[in-house]
A and B are shown apart, each in its own frame.
Chain A
Amino acid sequence: MTASASIDTHCPYCALQCAMSIDNGKVSPREFPTNRGGLCQKGWTSAELLTSPARLTTPLVRRDGELTPATWDEALDLVADKLGQLRQAHGPDSVGVFGGGGLTNEKSYLLGKFARVALGTSQIDYNGRFCMSSAAAAGMKAFGLDRGMPFPVTDLDRADAILLVGGNPAETMPPFVQHLKNAELIVIDPRRTPTAELATLHLQPAPGTDLALALGLLHTAVADGHLDREYLAERTTGFDDAWRIAATWWPERVERVTGVPVADQRAAVRILAEAANAYILTGRGTEQHASGADTVSAWINLALALGLPGTKYSGYGCLTGQGNGQGGREHGQKADQLPGYRKIDDPAAREHIMNVWGVDDLPGPGRSAYELLDALGQPDGPKALLVFGSNVIVSAPSSQHVADRLAALDLLVVCDLVLSETAAVADVVLPITQWAEESGTMTNLEGRILLRQVAVAAPEGVRSDLDVLRGLATRLGQPAERFPTDPETVFEELRLASKGGTADYSGVTYERLRQGEALHWPVVQESTPRNFLDRFAHPDGLARFIPVEHRGPVEMPDAEYPLQATTGRVLQHYQSGAQTRLVAELNRAEPEAYVEVHPDTATRAGLGNGAMAAVVSRRGRTVARVRCVPSMRIDVVFLPFHYAGDGRANLLTNPVLDPTSRMPEFKVCAVRLESV
């Protein structure tokens, strides 16, 4: 730690990217439009990991079953040799790459390029598939463009009403809650979360029934005379087909399926419709389903019916989760995408990217995240996997199955700053730099590009992901200049690659960012704080209603598994918890896996508050401490997914995928409760 002056940066965790300064290794909050000088406990303690004894500082190679220290050259040579052999024997798709939504734009971009150029594989996807994919797919369909919030966060301050569906920002991005304070807040969540506690109106649907609820609210909007017909005619197309389905979801039918009282459905629509400025926001709760993309389409349909999207100080947005969940999905680490949010099967897009990269061919689309993990070690699946910025053994669904697939690989390489649960089973672990030790850009939840600059010196022995990519690429025969290690150089190339794409960063420079300019993409020259004010991004400029029908959870409760489990987050932990579980203060506050249960349900299972319980699904068994919570539905249990080992909530979850977004059904599966 040699930095002496205070350096401005942003928090390493969620998509709010709270502004902070680092001075002598100490973090302090900074005034910024998104966090307004606020930080949650994760942010305040984020610097602890910079000096954590758990930090990896040397490459590890598995020898005789044990991970043992190795030099960088040994480790990289070993990996490159093995990848070369596999490629020779089984073709380029025998190597897979798994990225993350926490990686900077530069890393996401170069990782995609590395996979497609140095490895020549189509088999690359990332954990954002588990995060933003449903909202992204629905946003693309409706608007022709997916920017989580197509307006600055501060626009929410002017809202008179906000409908927040399946989001719990009071825990997941606490300083964001400041922007909800001026509005009448309606929260839709099966649980009475701390966010629901802030609401004027809390609708509590049965898990997996949000789509029916959205259809019902559209029905009520029409029946109660709130349809914005002028807006419909001028700015949208497809209402009639969407209405045919919503017409069959009258409020009493919706109540029976969802459990949300008719009176509350009406009240919610009335509050939204009577507000001068109103927003509908979605989060993972409504998106992480096998019908997640359609569910988001249904919420967007409601927003369109009320005339919100593309109207100043009104709109639809989704709350991006991971730190770079927005940028991470734009620059080519997704199986079906190329930089600039281009489609990999679009000939013009391929042509453009091949020109920028100086290559004459590119692989086509590959498997989505869970399908990729599921294929590992299978006869036609990848035999090696390189993991960057993800801890799939904890965060992927049906995690025992995922662990089994990882074990079937010939080679698993994990780049991480600590020995995550996934790193612990790897053949090679490469220690990398973290947020404050490297520069790079992040795109926050409002599509604003932020520059994080080096604030402290990295410990001896670690390298950046960019270094790792170059080290491997050159060993695989690539020219070194094709894989720069300087983030700004990579960014300059990303500008060219994204130019003309949906997410156009061509006008963004490090210099403009250093000057503090607020740049929301697309940026050809000027920033675009608000998309869609004049037109939507489809060729005809109109937004599309998407006709969608309710399907319900794939797995319903039965005699053997009579309860429904839903998963989520706690304030003190981030994602798989690989980092936050190492911060003593956070771990003290939330040290272990728990399960929230209605007191009657606990009693029936012979369990008291504080007892250890087993939650069992068709896929696995999670051990967690019982918390009796009277506001829980009697047939629902809740588990946070941040914990390792037996406490992994994802041992239970159902890996069935959404047909469009390939999102697994994290948010609802059938379980039973047992004492242990």
Chain B
Amino acid sequence: MRNVVIVGYGMAGARLADEIRRRDPKAERVSLTVLGDESHPAYNRVLLSSVVAGSLTPEAVRLHDPDWAAKHHVDLRLGGTVTKIDRTRRVVHVDDTEVPYDALVLATGARSWVPPTPGLLDGNGALAPGAVAFRSLDDCARIVEKASPGTPVAVLGGGLLGLEAARGLAGRGCLVTVVHPVGHLMERQLDAGAGRVLATTLNGLGIEFRLGVLATKYVPGDGLELDDGTHVPADLVVVSAGVRAETGLAEQAGIEVDRGILVDDALRTSDPRVHAIGDCAQHVGTVSGLVQPAWEQAAVLADRLTGVAPAARYAGTTVVTRLKARDVDLAALGDVHVPVDSVDDEVLCFQDPARGRYAKLVLRDDKVTGAIVLGAPDAAAAITQLFDRGLPAPTDRLALLLGRALPAENEASPADLPAAAVVCRCNTVSKGQLVSAWRGGATTLSAIAEVTRASTGCGGCKDAVCGIVDWLAASQPQSA
């Protein structure tokens, strides 16, 4: 039986273990060891913003129960530090012990990047008092502890995670200021117009912004000084300025590393016995930092390591960015940095900043290649479906951008209804039949029901039938 060792018990490592055991539930093909450096069970990092917001408890975001490893024949070792990979002897060193492997998987994730703002780090290289990264469950506990209502909080970084943290903290009643070095928010995913509307929307939820400025100094207990000379008071600074892949172990072992650990379509590193998935891996130039690629990689690697599908290959992941923030609906996907007057593409743009709406849609050969949809929840969902499934966009582009077909005209008056229009669905009675019945002397609802059976099913058309009766009566010439 082959020995598979996974270094890392985060979202990628835990998922890979699940996927392997789904294919090999009784441990007949693969014996599995998982090494995690945190002491608690794996948790769902995607939901950390919900923990900060207070909508989910730390317990609720656990990926596994404490008895998971025993139930699934997994040798789970928590709280140890992997110090070295010995590729010639095929062992990993965990503190003072050695763990042998036939196949090794690095799922070491990423760590927060701390900007070189003076004062942010203390003398030992740790974050100074009052400054907290936004990466782990422990970080969340520290944030929540300090985030009582009315507390001034600065968030360093106006990217996806920074904004999710900001929204959660504002929801707790904190006075939140986001400091972002670029001129608009989420510049990787949004164009300037969308960034502006997003800032307006978030501003309406109580979040302030300092855009295009750098923090020049952090003073614990006071706040941040900015390079435009202004000052942001903060009892808590949440650092969310990006992450760096955790590549140290690989590098030390002589495995090829760029921004992440380089892997091929089989998720092999430069040593074919060593694999990498998740935030630490770099596949065709991409270090994703998102959960979906990690999960797709885990499925492919499980196919290969268990021999269920030895030919399985990872072909990359189509990324859709979705801001997880209550009362803000934002989706961004594909290439959005295409000018509206592009010759090769069809670009549609709709802006309604006063109502927090912004939509940009980029199409090529009728298919969605990029989109930003803000404040139009239905459109976001529909466009994502078109993009993911490679479907041609509907010819009614306007309805697509707005998310719903335009509301129907006011209900037609009985006079305007065509004779063939079915008024009573339960009994397939048309307006024409109702008119004939009325002309035949059935001039009340009950009489007309008797003759045509209209309104005798669910009764939902009673008002419509009465409307037609009234209209017929009113249009009857007055007789002396």
Contacts and interface: CB of A to CB of B under 8 A. Distances in A.
Interface string B352-391: 0000000000000000000000000110111011101101
A557 B389 contact: yes
A263 B425 CA distance: 32
Contacts of A262: 322, 329, 377, 381
Interface in A78-124: none
A259 interface: yes
Interface string B15-32: 000000000000000000
Given A40-B427, A263-B329, A589-B428, A244 B392 contact: no
Contacts of A223: 50, 55-56
B456 A170 contact: no
A251 B380 CA distance: 13
B466 to A, nearest CB: 17
Interface string B374-417: 00011011101110110110111000000101000000000000
Interface in A22-80: 29, 37-41, 44
Contacts of A260: 381
A604 B378 CA distance: 25
A336 B95 CA distance: 57
B381 A261 contact: yes
Main secondary structure of the interface of A (DSSP, over half): helix
B395 A41 contact: no
A248 B453 contact: no
B423 to A, nearest CB: 13
A171 B378 CA distance: 27
A247 B61 contact: yes
A250 B324 contact: yes
Contacts of A634: 386, 391-392, 394
B249 interface: no
Interface residues of B, number: 43
A40 B428 CA distance: 9
Contact of A44 (B324, B329, B453): B453
A255 B457 contact: no
Nearest to B428: A589
Nearest to A43: B457
A41 B453 contact: yes
B458 interface: yes
Chain B CB within 10 Å, residue with most, of A37, A223, A241, A634: A634
Given A247-B61, A635-B389, A635-B391, A39 B457 contact: yes
A244 B63 contact: yes
Interface in B427-451: 427-428
Contacts of B382: 259
Contacts of A170: 425, 458, 460
A646 interface: no
Contact of A247 (B44, B329, B377, B405): B44
Contacts, number: 118
Nearest to B388: A256
Given A40-B426, A40-B427, A261 B377 contact: yes
Contacts of B64: 244
Interface in A260-286: 260-264
A243 interface: yes
B459 interface: yes
B138 interface: no
Contacts of A206: 385
A271 B320 CA distance: 29
Nearest to A220: B55
Interface in A183-209: 194, 198, 206
Interface in A155-185: 170-171, 174-178
A598 interface: yes
B322 A263 contact: no
Nearest to A630: B405
A557 B425 CA distance: 34
Nearest to B324: A252
B394 A177 contact: no
Nearest to B382: A259
Contacts of A38: 426, 456-459
Given A175-B458, A263-B377, A600 B394 contact: yes
A600 B456 contact: no
A378 interface: no
Interface string B325-352: 0000100000000000000000000000
A500 B304 CA distance: 53
Nearest to A241: B65
A391 interface: no
B127 interface: no
Taking residues whose C-beta sits less than 8 angstroms from the other chain, chain A's interface range is 35 or more
Interface in B154-190: none
A176 B391 CA distance: 38
Contacts of A225: 55
A40 B457 contact: yes
Nearest to A192: B405
B46 interface: yes
Given A263-B377, A631-B405, A222 B458 contact: no
Contacts of A408: none
B384 A256 contact: yes
B211 interface: no
Interface in B49-69: 50, 55-56, 60-65
A243 B384 contact: no
A572 interface: yes
A224 interface: yes
B74 interface: no
Contacts of B61: 247
Given A222-B60, A223-B56, A247-B60, A264 B458 contact: no
Nearest to B11: A248
B47 interface: yes
Contacts of A256: 320, 322, 384, 388
Nearest to A252: B322
A176 B426 CA distance: 11
A523 interface: no
Nearest to A572: B428
Nearest to B55: A223
Nearest to B320: A256
A206 B65 CA distance: 32
B394 A571 contact: no
A351 interface: no
Interface string A590-615: 00000000101001100000000000
A248 to B, nearest CB: 7
Contacts of B377: 261-264
Contact of B395 (A44, A252, A600): A600
A248 B44 contact: yes
Nearest to B376: A261
A240 B320 CA distance: 30
A41 B454 CA distance: 10
Nearest to B395: A600
A250 B47 contact: yes
B425 A571 contact: yes
A297 B342 CA distance: 50
Given A38-B457, A39-B456, A259-B382, A250 B46 contact: yes
Contacts of A39: 453, 456-457
9 contacts: A41-B426, A174-B457, A175-B457, A244-B62, A244-B64, A247-B61, A261-B377, A261-B380, A261-B381
Given A222-B60, A247-B61, A261-B381, 9 more contacts: A38-B456, A41-B426, A44-B453, A240-B65, A244-B63, A259-B382, A263-B329, A264-B378, A600-B395
Interface of B: 44, 46-47, 50, 55-56, 60-65, 320, 322, 324, 329, 377-378, 380-382, 384-386, 388-389, 391-392, 394-396, 403, 405, 425-428, 453, 456-460
Interface of A: 29, 37-41, 44, 170-171, 174-178, 194, 198, 206, 222-225, 240-241, 243-244, 247-248, 250-252, 255-256, 259-264, 557, 571-572, 589, 598, 600, 603-604, 630-631, 634-635
Q: What 7 pairs across the A-B complex have the smallest Cβ distances?
A: A177-B458, A263-B377, A261-B377, A252-B322, A174-B426, A261-B381, A174-B457
